[in-house]
Amino acid sequence: MLKSDLIATLVAKRQLTQNQAEETVETILNSMKAALCKGDNIEIRGLGAFHVKEYLGYNGRNPKTGSVIPVKPKRGILFRTGKELRDRVNRAGEPAREHKLEPAKSETGTA
């Protein structure tokens, strides 16, 4: 799903105009982006949480030449899936859990 598909969903399901839907989605993403840039963490219940992590600088190496290069401190984002979504994503993948439970099942082949 792309951003445009998300926008199309809003148009179809909530009768927003194309412009309103675009503006809404952009506003949501921009406000989240602005918060993260300020160093704020975001927690959306059911979806997950975004944390800003500060990384210290360190001395790295150019793997090709072996020369030492200082890597500057930087910030990254860690995302932790919320409980509801984690369960929903995993439950939908239930068939992956065949091992040990029903060893007899493989006899039937692909049927």
Partner 1 sequence: MTKADVIESVCKEVGFSKKESAEVVEMVFDTLKDTLEKGEKIKLSGFGNFVVREKKSRLGRNPQTGQEIEISARRVLTFRPSQVLKNALNGLKSAE
Residues that bind partner 1 (CB under 8 A): 1-3, 6, 9-10, 13-14, 16, 20, 23-25, 27-33, 35-37, 40-48, 50, 52, 74-77, 79, 81, 84-86, 88-90, 92-93, 96-97, 99
| Phi (first) and psi of residue 37, to 5 degrees | -65, -30
- Rank residues 33 and 61 by Cβ distance to partner 1 and give the closer one: 33
Triad 93, 98, 101: Cα angle to 5°: 130
8 Å CB contact between 42 and 28: no
Provide, rounded to whole angstroms, the least separation between the CB of residue 1 and partner 1. Answer: 5
Give me the least distance between CB of 97 and partner 1, in Å please: 6
CB of residue 14 to partner 1, shortest distance in Å = 6
What DSSP string describes 31-58?
Answer: HHHHHHHTT--EEETTTEEEEEEEE--E
